[in-house]
A = this chain, B = another copy of it.
Amino acid sequence: MVLKVRKKVTALPGCPMSKCMDLLGGCWTPEVLWSLSEGPRRFSELRRDCPFISAKVMTSRLRDLEQRGVLSRKVMPTSPPTVEYALTELGKELLPAIRSIVDVGTRLLLRDPTP
C-alpha cells in the first residue's frame, strides 16, 4: 500500500480534503500514524510494525510528519540512544480519518476476502 504526495503541490486554499490529505498523504503515512495511534513508539518498534517500509522512507516520513507538527520526536539520553515518537494533538485529530479508512477496509475484506 503505497501512498505518495508531491511536495510542490500544497493544499488548495480552503479545501478541507486538501488540508487533511496534505498531512495524511505520503507513502506509508497512514500506516505510521496507525502504529502510533496506540501510544508512543520507538524507531525500531515502528520498523517492526511496518517491515515493508524501508528505513529510508520511514525516516523521511517521520521527519516530514515532525516538521508538520503531526508527531513529536524525543531522543532519550540512553546508550545506545533510543528515540521516541508520539502523536501530537494535531496528530490525534487525524485519527478519526485513519480509523474510518481501517473500518471501511475491514468491511471490504469481509465482503471480499481475497487479498
Contact = CB atoms under 8 A, between A and B. Distances in A.
A30 B19 CA distance: 13
Interface of A: prevailing SS: helix
Which one of A10, A11, A15, A19 has the greatest number of beta carbons of chain B within 10 Å? A19
A25 B11 contact: no
A115 B3 contact: no
Interface in A64-99: 90, 93-94, 96-99
A60 B45 CA distance: 38
A5 interface: yes
Contacts of A104: 16, 20, 93-94, 96-97
Contact of A103 (B3, B22, B96): B96
